[in-house]
Amino acid sequence: MLVENNLPAGTPAPENSDSSSLRQWLSVLAVTIGAFAFVTTEFLPVGLLPHVAHELDVLPGTAGLMVTVPGVIAALSAPGMMLGAGRMDRRHVFVLLTAILLASNLLSAFAPNFPVLLIGRALLGAGLGGFWTLATAAAGRLVQPKDAARATATILTGVTCATVIGVPLGTFIAGFSSWRVSFLATGVLVAVALVAQLMLVPSLPSHKALRFADLVSLMRRSYPRRSMLMVALVFGAHFCSYTYITPFLLHNADFDMTTITWLLLGFGAIGFLSNFVFSSTVNRSLKGSVATMISLLMFALLLMPLLRHSQWAVTADVLAWGISFGAMPLCFSVWIQRATPDLPEAGSALFVMIIQVAIAVGSLVGGSIVDRVGIPADFLLGGALALLGLAALVSFGRNAAQTHAERLACQAAPD
């Protein structure tokens, strides 16, 4: 067993040696495979919408509910699943959520009509919010404390890999077979993740159940509340613009579709590398890492409309944006962990919920701007939101996250 049975949820693995063991890192790998499977399943319909709409006889806009429904339900399930889990061993919760994902893929693959397909997608949303809440909260418990940030970065790598490899692979399978086979293939991946978690993830006992009062308590605190606002602004900035990056590159920057495909692959690949680079800096300088990430995002969005007449400049700008996006989940995940050290699962639940809301609202507002004013104006809006996020970061003062965590630790210590 890798974690002592008397540790509460959120407590890191005991530091019995200088480095984490191979078995500890294998448990992180098992969760990473789950992350890859979840994100691949989440975004799989992006490339399958025409196939699904044609076979199930629905309009393309209606088929888009396959993306919208799980996002909305994930925002609700992030706190809901963990509240319902109570004191259940978090290893069992991991396995349960991955089993729900497997059921989602199988139901989607064999759905006789569109309503049944949406039920399958709803199951994905139910598992997705809970999985990310648990993964970000439990990452530090799987390894030694000094490796917590790297473990989080490794799990978040599953997101980037799914974006770079998983989604295009699913679309490729649908091209020579059918969209149902894409869901079945992803189901096989989920089954692998499920077996890996059963074999490798240790017992993660939780002697303190997440309560609704914990969520309320966090939001009453100024520091976590402002942290969530910063997260909402920056994720909103990214997704209100990124949703429309393909039409911008096609119609405003005059790229052809083949070049756009390679450029977006480059966006994901450089984000993959960025995730690991920032994993070595967040422990030394968390605020500096967050400031760098937000600043890159802000300048990338503000400069995009100005650089659209030069394809080389736009390419460099997109890659800079990719560096920012690759670091975004890791930087904010560590920030929230330090902002809520006494209530890690409550902090993770609110973190995941805020991200899902920011994605939905950002995409909706961005679409309204695009329809009424144009895509360049939408990028300027994203840049303005990133600027507000940077202002929120500045408001915390120097070494704010560490100071906040130390203050909570002192308050919890016995006299």
pLDDT tens digits along 158-167? 877 776 676 6
**Does residue 149 have a pLDDT over 90?**
no
Return the structure tokens found at 64.
Answer: 């888009």
pLDDT at position 242: 82
More confident residue, 44 or 174: 44
61-65, 132-136, 143-147 — which is least confidently predicted?
61-65
Residues 166 and 248 in one domain: no
| Domain co-membership, 73 together with 104 | yes
pTM greater than 0.85 (yes/no): no
Residue 6 lies in a domain: no
From the centroid of its chain, how far is CA 258? 27
If pLDDT is split at 50, 70 and 90, which confidence band does 362 have? confident
**Dihedral (CA of 53, 58, 61, 64) sign:** negative
Predicted local confidence at residue 168, as pLDDT: 67
Q: Examine residue 65 and state whether it is found in any structural domain, yes or no.
A: yes
Measured CA to CA, the distance from residue 46 to residue 349 in angstroms comes to 26
Of 186, 209, 232, which residue is a domain's last?
A: 209
The pLDDT value recorded for residue 163 is 66
Of the three residues 194, 209, 224, the one that is the final residue of a domain is 209
Q: Is the pLDDT of residue 48 over 80?
A: no
What confidence score (pLDDT) does residue 399 get? Answer: 55
- Give me the pLDDT at residue 144, please: 82
Amino acid at 374: G
Tens of pLDDT, residues 185-244: 999 999 999 999 999 988 888 766 677 787 888 888 989 999 999 999 999 999 888 877
Q: Which amino acid is at 62?
A: T
What is the rounded average pLDDT for all residues in the chain? 81
Percentage of the chain beyond pLDDT 90 is: 31
Position 10 scores a pLDDT of: 42
pLDDT at 164: 65
Distance CA 59, CA 322 (A): 32
In a domain, 16, yes or no: no
Buried b (16+ CB within 10 A) or exposed e, 326-363: bbbbbbbbbbbbbbbbbbbbbbbbbbbbbbbbbbbebb
pLDDT confidence of 121, banded at 50, 70, 90?
A: very high
- pLDDT of 49 reads 67
**pLDDT given for residue 377 in this prediction:** 92
Do both 218 and 163 map to the same domain? no
Can you say whether the dihedral through the CA atoms of 241, 270, 162, 393 is positive or negative?
Answer: negative
Model pLDDT, residue 316 = 95
Reported as a single tens digit per residue, the pLDDT across 318-332 is 999 999 988 888 889
Domain end marker among 155, 177, 209: 209
Beta carbons of 342 and 218 less than 8 angstroms apart: no
User: Which pLDDT score is estimated for 400?
Assistant: 55
Closest CA to 45 of 112, 124, 100: 124
| Residue 11 resides in a domain | no
For residue 158, being part of any structural domain is answered with yes
Total domains in the fold of the chain: 2
Asked if 105 and 220 sit in the same domain, the reply is no
Q: What is the DSSP letter of 8?
A: P
* 244 in the same domain as 176: no
pLDDT of residue 33: 92
Say whether both 192 and 143 belong to one domain.
yes
- 8 pLDDT above the threshold of 50: no
* C-alpha neighbours within 13 Å on the C-beta side of residue 400: 20
Q: What angle do CA 356, 357, 361 make, to 5 degrees?
A: 120
- What pLDDT, on a 0 to 100 scale, did the predictor assign at position 398? 62
pLDDT bracket for residue 61 (50, 70, 90): low
Would you say residue 266 has pLDDT above 70? Answer: yes
Residue 164 near residue 268 (C-beta atoms within 8 A): yes
Q: Write the single-letter amino acid at 403.
A: T
Share of the chain above pLDDT 70, in %: 86
Q: In terms of domains, do 273 and 163 share one?
A: no
What's the average model confidence in pLDDT over 6-22? 54
**321 and 196 co-located in one domain:** no
Residue 412 has pLDDT above 50, yes or no: no
Q: What is the pLDDT of residue 189?
A: 92
- Compute how many other C-beta atoms are within 10 angstroms of the C-beta atom of residue 166: 24
pLDDT at 296: 95
Domain annotation covers residue 403: yes
Q: What is the pLDDT of residue 12?
A: 44
The lowest-confidence range among 92-96, 135-139, 386-390 is: 135-139
Both 90 and 122 in a single domain?
A: yes
pLDDT (0 to 100) of residue 320 = 95
Do 193 and 223 lie in one domain? The reply is no
- In angstroms, the CA 188 to CA 198 distance is 15
Please tell me which residue, 394 or 9, carries the higher pLDDT value: 394
Alpha-carbon distance 270 to 326, whole Å?
Answer: 7
204 and 283 share one domain:
no
Highest-confidence segment of 53-67, 84-98, 215-229: 215-229
Question: Do the domain assignments include residue 85?
Answer: yes
Q: pLDDT: is 187 or 256 the higher one? A: 187
Domain containing 348: what range? 211-409
Identify the CATH number of the domain in which residue 104 sits.
1.20.1250.20
Residues 267, 151: one domain? no
Residue 193 in domain: yes
